[in-house]
Chains A and B, each alone.
Chain A
Amino acid sequence: MDITLNEEQTMIATSALEFAKGAVNAQQIRDLETTVDGFDRAIWHKMVDLGWAGAVFPAEYGGSGLGLFELSLIIEALGQGAVPTPIFSTVVEAGLLLVDAGSVQQRAYWLPRIADGRSILTTAIFEPGGGLLREQVSTLVEPSADGFRVNGTKLFVRDAGVADAIICLGRSKSDSDALSLVLVPKDTQGVERRRLWASGGEALWEVTFRDVEVPADALVGLAGDAWSHVEQLLLRGAAMKSAELVGIGQAALDLTLEYAKTRRQFGQPIGSFQGVQHHCTEMYRDLTVCRLLCWQAAARLGNVKNAAREVAMAKAKTGEAIPALTRIAHQIHGAIAYYRDYPLELYYHRAIAASAAYGDSGHQRRALSRLLRSELATFQGEHRHELSVHPL
């Protein structure tokens, strides 16, 4: 037990933050948010050069073999700098899904391309009817003459406009319990995309598949066996979005403290008023709890342990607390931060977008409720007492 960053982790966090703060300014971020791509390739390639695209891939595929915990430190820093990147689509979703479930050929082809920045990849999981639970998936992935045929509509697909391929989740008509993943290359006939415009700057898309044909070797993992891989993808997404939320919260707190120390009213800095001090402590309190929960979620996922409980707790807490924190940050700033040229709004938007991704707070708490009802021991965690010690 040692809940502190080691030397290497401190270095990763420090250099990531240095990069994130200098990579792009607030005006550039706002401009990027209105582009179809949503991010700047040149900035992404700088991150690639730092080794972040392949950070968590095995060395044989051009990666550095770092853990999810280290990736969470990088993502926290990117959240703090509000840097638009395709790291979620390409690394957290598709890249690690291929590490997890891809065939030897798929891994050998795609992972080095992600690691050296040649490829953007994404996944298509969510649908109008949901996608965080297996029964919500209605897109069809059925065997066809030469492989598989895909039909359905996917939502909130990250970076679909520039992705070289989309890994799509669907079910078989004959066996509705059998879910499969297929890799659909860019420009395959029958794929249509519409850009969604959402708060927070991520490039999200609707992707429609109409009688899309892919070959048999497009299958990722075993036919009918995809859900366990998707569950892991969703856990990784939730854990990493929690880390991003911590970065967002830290940025909002930093801006607020700076403002509270310098803004003077009634002849003194507003940070000397108890009302303001108490708000700031509450922000810092929640942020610290969030960060500890995130550290635990990422470290446990990286250790290939059952991390469903820990990830759900982290996302449930950050998903609620960090947006609340940004609202208080705005309250302390008053009217000045209501204007677009003040950077706080970036975090205000990003907080709600990150909260909504990979299961919002309510979804995570429902997942914990299910554990509570069906697996009390898992709900209570590894440190539970075996027997009630209530003596009376």
Chain B
Amino acid sequence: MDLEFTQEQLEFRGEVRGFLTRELTPEVWKNHRDQSEQGMWTEAFTKAFRRKLGAAGYIGMGWPKEYGGGGRSRIYQAIFWDEMEYFRAPGLDRSITYVPNALLAFGSDHQKKLLLPQVMRGELAWFVGYSEPEAGSDLANLKTLAVEDEVSGDFIITGQKSFSSDAHMADYGWVAVRTNAEMSRHRGVSLFIVDMKSPGVEITRYQTLAGWTHHSVYFNQVRVPRSMLVGDLNEGWRVVMGAIDFERAALASHGLVGFQLDRLLDWCVAGHDGAPPQIEDPLVQDELVRLAIEGEGTRLMTYWLASLHERGLMPQHETSLALLVKRETARRLDVAGLELLGPFGPLRTGSPWVQLNGEVEVEYRDRLYFQFAAGGFDITRNVVAQRGLGLPR
């Protein structure tokens, strides 16, 4: 048991903090923020920034050296994710976190050698195609079909994926499809890597209530070579479940919660024109104390998961639990932020008298998705009860 960072880990953290401070100056924020995009940075800046992360060696530092990785421990990766979230830096998404982790675990040697070096340089953007109109929480109900072309050995995909974050800027899709309609629901699913420039891929846009765009992806007779099948044919459910554990571990990072708390603390200490600082109110103090305790729990969970990964213990339901704790805590902070801002809370970005640039209000709307995406709160509670606590289905 060691709950302290080593000197080397602290130095690494300092280096990451320095990098992010230098790169994300107030001018950069002013010029490249975009509330109409998921993650709230412009597409161009997100892509450019990811290449910078690659050049600085921050992508894939925990991967094995044979695929060009840095061979560093999982703790470093967790520190990096933690700081990226805290700084609300662009580019920390599936493209550099859980998709390559799943590729490492389940991909073929050919796929790893082809794709991982590009991922490491920050050149690739991915979308993940799981959800469909009739397959949300019940993912095994997915209907998108891939049929083998017996002449070429390619697969031809037809169907629709929904709620597909960042599909418009993706180079590749990580797509779950049905390859055998006769088999039981959880068998007969396969996982393909789809080149998004392929003929027959069509993307439609929707505006979210937070103001950014989200997508559906249509596959109309899209041809995918067999070499892009991840894992075995009809055995994709195992790949999807494994990838979801990586996804939850990545999304469970503590950084966002730490930032939310600090921003709120700063605001309560500083106050605003014409009013005494909120921090003098004992009720406010108690709320901040309670939030800080939950924040500390979230932080410890992040590094607990990283420790389990580092020891090769492959956390499963623990990743779901950690994600639940992180996202519930973040939502609690969203709500507390609005409450502390009082009548100023609903003021939107750009309004006179807006506090904290209206971020609390826009994030309160935006992060509604925490309650349903990547396994909603209620589904996650079922997953933990069944996979972790052994309660019957």
Contacts and interface: CB of A to CB of B under 8 A. Distances in A.
A278 B86 contact: no
B199 to A, nearest CB: 43
A297 B25 CA distance: 37
Given A277-B386, A313-B296, A316-B293, A388 B262 contact: yes
Q: A interface, by DSSP: helix, strand, loop or mixed?
A: helix
A2 B1 contact: yes
Contact of B25 (A281, A368, A391): A391
Contact of A376 (B30, B269, B321, B389): B269
Contact of B381 (A2, A282, A299, A376): A282
B263 interface: yes
A390 B356 CA distance: 9
Interface residues of A, number: 54
B6 to A, nearest CB: 7
Interface in A243-277: 257, 260-261, 268-269, 271-272, 274, 276-277
Q: How large is the interface on B (under 10, 10 to 19, 20 to 34, 35 or more residues)?
A: 35 or more
Contact of B393 (A272, A316, A379, A383): A272
Interface stretch (A113-121, A157-165, A286-294): A286-294
A44 B243 CA distance: 50
A335 interface: no
Nearest to A253: B389
B196 interface: no
B1 A69 contact: yes
B289 A3 contact: no
Given A2-B2, A4-B1, A289-B301, A365 B286 contact: yes
B282 interface: yes
A285 B325 contact: yes
B390 A261 contact: yes
B266 A288 contact: no
A355 B262 CA distance: 29
B289 A1 contact: no
B307 A3 contact: yes
B303 A277 contact: no
A325 to B, nearest CB: 14
A369 interface: yes
A260 B385 CA distance: 11
Interface in B315-330: 321, 324-325
A365 B282 CA distance: 11
Given A260-B391, A281-B384, A372-B285, A3 B304 contact: yes
B62 interface: no
Contacts of A383: 258, 299
Contacts of A289: 294, 297, 300-301, 325
Interface of A: 1-6, 9, 69, 257, 260-261, 268-269, 271-272, 274, 276-278, 280-282, 284-285, 288-289, 292-293, 295-296, 299-300, 303, 310, 313, 316-317, 365, 368-369, 372-373, 376, 379-381, 383-385, 388-392
Given A1-B6, A4-B304, A391-B25, 8 more contacts: A1-B303, A2-B2, A269-B391, A272-B393, A277-B386, A289-B301, A296-B3, A391-B24
Interface of B: 1-6, 9, 17, 20-21, 24-26, 29-30, 75, 86-87, 258-259, 262-263, 265-266, 269, 279, 282, 285-286, 288-290, 292-294, 296-297, 299-301, 303-304, 306-308, 310-311, 313, 321, 324-325, 356-357, 359, 378, 380-382, 384-386, 388-393
* Shortest beta-carbon contacts, A-B, top 3: A277-B385, A289-B297, A292-B300
20 contacts: A3-B2, A3-B3, A4-B311, A9-B1, A257-B389, A261-B390, A281-B384, A284-B384, A285-B321, A293-B296, A299-B1, A299-B2, A365-B290, A379-B292, A385-B258, A388-B262, A389-B87, A390-B266, A391-B24, A391-B25
